[in-house]
């Protein structure tokens, strides 16, 4: 039993779920994906129990820049207003800095993407459109001819999602720590065991249990014991207050030959997030010195006062950057989704776009089924796993490939890094296609492959130019190595995403 001080702090309605009811669905976790699954199912008439271990506002440095693809999914789900009234900052594109030179990359035109689908029963009364607030304007968001993303304080966005789910009459919310996914003798999932403050451990039953327990998922292994992420790098994050960002309403990617990538984006009128990549899961011993000596010299001048202040205050936080290709949902009664299922490098800010598109696809795939018919549901979950690849593989592979290039330590990766920046500098299609992939509005993995290898070819061309006539034989040999390096950082991941 938990101690009674816990009980006092938790509102009563979060502790009163009945364990007598057989729910259509139990949703484990109310982060980004959980509330969207629960809301979508509830609007389809399902009886849903959503269990979250802590309903108070989280304070995390993840999920703060949502790509246009994520916003489109929120519209499909009828939940776009979760970005309202949280001082969110509209994002209209990216600014990429390479050794101090800048390229501006606006988001693509809406007309070039497929129309946003309104999911039946989920979209009503204009809930697929933003409303006006202090920072979000209907006119700009709805009438801009280009796609938009948004930066926000993660916890405030989550609280809005949680308010939406709380308003669904078919949803019961429960505060508790899920400690076990329960199985029948036939090894089929039948519900979850939850440790509830003041009530102890109780069993809740459902036809279908959704595991949405995030990056550090305890239950993803229910799919398979080898469903374990790899961690290759980390982000050190800080809040910059009243920072003078070089390009307003843009995400900033700061690259260079002698440092790791740095991301900068505004998350509220006062607060700007800076995430500094460190190319190892094991962080430097003295983070303060590392920030001052290895990051600060490469930042745009306008950021320095707020950066120096943040370093002085010493309030940095670190997160591992994990990679996890998805696995088929093959267990009857179980569906693993969100970061529990699939993770990519956070460099391109694609995690929420993947999770929300998966949530929308999930509702479309199983929302109208009778969950008591577990075999049909399982068949449709297999279909879901197949269908999602088109969209998710693009964001996932792009994130890994770009991180390899942008964090280049190897000589040929550095050539690709330079080539990639010069490719962007050409403008036109050379930025329209890459930014469409990044934005999550062009789900075409084979077109991504073509563009990636065009960048590799262009890098080889740039290398020939730089080597000149005398260096031609060397550049010829290097061309092979550059091509091989490009294939090495791209192809295995594409294969894992599409075939796995």
Ligand X SMILES: Cc1cc2nc3c(=O)[nH]c(=O)nc-3n(C[C@H](O)[C@H](O)[C@H](O)COP(=O)(O)OP(=O)(O)OC[C@H]3O[C@@H](n4cnc5c(N)ncnc54)[C@H](O)[C@@H]3O)c2cc1C
For ligand X, the binding residues (CB under 6 A) are 28-34, 51-54, 61-66, 70, 177-178, 212-215, 218, 235, 319, 321, 338-340, 346, 349-353, 355
Q: How far is the CB of 217 from ligand X (least distance, A)?
A: 7
By C-beta, is 197 or 355 nearer to ligand X?
355
Question: Which backbone phi and psi does 351 adopt, to 5 degrees?
Answer: -60, -45
Which residues are 235's β-sheet partners? 277, 319
Q: What gap in Å lies between CA 388 and CA 289, rounded to an integer?
A: 43
By C-beta, is 162 or 298 nearer to ligand X?
162
Which residues are 192's β-sheet partners? 181, 204
Q: How far is the CB of 183 from ligand X (least distance, A)?
A: 16
By C-beta, is 165 or 431 nearer to ligand X?
165
As given in the structure block, the two tokens for residue 316 are 């940095």
Contact status, residue 191 vs residue 28, Cβ threshold 8 Å: no
Q: How far is the CB of 346 from ligand X (least distance, A)?
A: 4
Question: What is the phi-psi region of residue 361: left when phi exceeds 0, alpha when psi lies from -120 to 50, beta otherwise?
Answer: alpha
Q: How far is the CB of 402 from ligand X (least distance, A)?
A: 14
CA distances (Å), 318 to each of 187, 277, 278, 287, in order?
38, 10, 10, 10
Q: How far is the CB of 372 from ligand X (least distance, A)?
A: 25
Contact status, residue 288 vs residue 197, Cβ threshold 8 Å: no
By C-beta, is 204 or 423 nearer to ligand X?
204
Question: CA torsion, points 265, 269, 271, 275, in degrees to nearest 10?
Answer: 0
By C-beta, is 89 or 352 nearer to ligand X?
352
Q: How far is the CB of 33 from ligand X (least distance, A)?
A: 3
Q: Which helix (H) or strand (E) holds 195?
A: strand 189-196
Helices vs. strands in the chain: H and E counts, helices first: 13, 17
Q: How far is the CB of 252 from ligand X (least distance, A)?
A: 13
By C-beta, is 53 or 259 nearer to ligand X?
53
Q: What gap in Å lies between CA 164 and CA 82, rounded to an integer?
A: 8
By C-beta, is 350 or 367 nearer to ligand X?
350
Sheet holding 271-278, edge to edge: 101-106, 93-98, 250-256, 259-266, 271-278, 230-241, 317-323
Q: Shortest Cβ contact with ligand X: which residue? A: 31
Q: How far is the CB of 428 from ligand X (least distance, A)?
A: 27
The HSE-up count of residue 127 (CA atoms within 13 Å, CB side) is 20
By C-beta, is 7 or 319 nearer to ligand X?
319
By C-beta, is 235 or 278 nearer to ligand X?
235
Q: What gap in Å lies between CA 471 and CA 304, rounded to an integer?
A: 40
Q: How far is the CB of 67 from ligand X (least distance, A)?
A: 6
Q: How far is the CB of 212 from ligand X (least distance, A)?
A: 5
Q: What gap in Å lies between CA 282 and CA 231, rounded to an integer?
A: 10
Q: How far is the CB of 195 from ligand X (least distance, A)?
A: 9
By C-beta, is 34 or 261 nearer to ligand X?
34
Q: How far is the CB of 215 from ligand X (least distance, A)?
A: 5
By C-beta, is 213 or 380 nearer to ligand X?
213
Question: Which backbone phi and psi does 170 adopt, to 5 degrees?
Answer: -85, 0
Give residues with Cβ within 8 angstroms of 190, minimum separation 6: 182, 183, 184, 205, 206, 209, 333
By C-beta, is 202 or 425 nearer to ligand X?
202
Contact status, residue 305 vs residue 317, Cβ threshold 8 Å: no
As given in the structure block, the two tokens for residue 339 are 């970061």
Q: What gap in Å lies between CA 348 and CA 323, rounded to an integer?
A: 13
């Amino acid at each position: 039993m938990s101690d009674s001080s816990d009980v006092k702090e938790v509102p009563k309605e979060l502790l009163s779920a009945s364990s007598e009811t057989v729910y259509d669905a139990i949703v484990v976790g109310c982060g980004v994906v959980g509330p969207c699954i629960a809301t979508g199912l509830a609007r389809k008439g399902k009886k849903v129990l959503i269990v979250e271990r802590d309903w108070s506002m989280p304070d995390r440095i993840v999920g703060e820049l949502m790509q246009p693809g994520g916003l489109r999914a929120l519209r499909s789900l009828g939940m776009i207003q979760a970005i309202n009234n949280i001082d969110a900052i509209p994002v209209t594109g990216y600014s990429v800095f390479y050794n101090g030179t800048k390229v501006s990359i606006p988001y693509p035109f809406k007309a070039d993407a497929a129309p946003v689908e309104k999911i039946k029963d989920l979209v009503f009364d204009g809930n697929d459109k933003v409303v006006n607030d202090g920072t979000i304007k209907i006119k700009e968001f709805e009438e801009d001819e280009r796609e938009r993303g948004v930066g926000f304080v993660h916890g405030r966005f989550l609280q809005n999602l949680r308010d939406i789910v709380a308003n669904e009459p078919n949803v019961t919310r429960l505060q508790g720590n899920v400690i076990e996914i329960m199985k029948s003798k036939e090894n089929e999932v039948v519900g979850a065991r939850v440790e509830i403050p003041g009530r102890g451990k109780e069993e809740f039953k459902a036809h279908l249990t959704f595991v949405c327990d995030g990056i550090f998922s305890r239950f993803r292994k229910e799919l398979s014991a080898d469903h374990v992420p790899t961690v290759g790098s980390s982000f050190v994050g800080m809040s910059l207050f009243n920072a003078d960002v070089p390009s307003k309403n843009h995400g900033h990617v700061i690259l260079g030959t002698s440092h790791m990538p740095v991301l900068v984006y505004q998350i509220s009128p006062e607060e700007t997030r800076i995430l500094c990549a460190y190319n190892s899961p094991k962080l430097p011993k003295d983070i303060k010195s590392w920030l001052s000596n290895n990051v600060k010299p490469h930042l745009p001048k306008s950021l320095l006062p707020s950066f120096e202040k943040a370093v002085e205050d010493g309030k940095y936080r670190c997160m591992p950057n994990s990679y996890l290709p998805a696995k088929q949902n093959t267990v009857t009664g179980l569906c693993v989704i969100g970061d529990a299922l699939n993770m990519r490098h956070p460099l391109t800010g694609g995690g929420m776009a993947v999770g929300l598109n998966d949530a929308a696809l999930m509702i479309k795939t199983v929302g109208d089924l009778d969950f008591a018919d577990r075999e049909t549901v399982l068949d449709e979950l297999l279909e879901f796993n197949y269908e999602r690849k088109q969209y998710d593989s693009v964001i996932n592979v792009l994130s890994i490939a770009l991180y390899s290039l942008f964090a280049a330590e190897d000589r040929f990766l550095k050539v690709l890094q330079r080539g990639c920046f010069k490719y962007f500098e050409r403008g036109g299609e050379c930025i329209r296609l890459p930014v469409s992939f990044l934005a999550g509005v062009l789900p075409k993995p084979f077109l991504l492959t073509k563009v990636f290898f065009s960048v590799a070819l262009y890098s080889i061309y740039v290398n020939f130019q730089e080597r000149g006539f005398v260096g031609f034989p060397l550049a010829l040999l290097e061309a092979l190595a550059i091509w091989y390096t490009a294939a090495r950082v791209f192809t295995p991941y594409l294969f894992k995403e599409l075939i796995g």
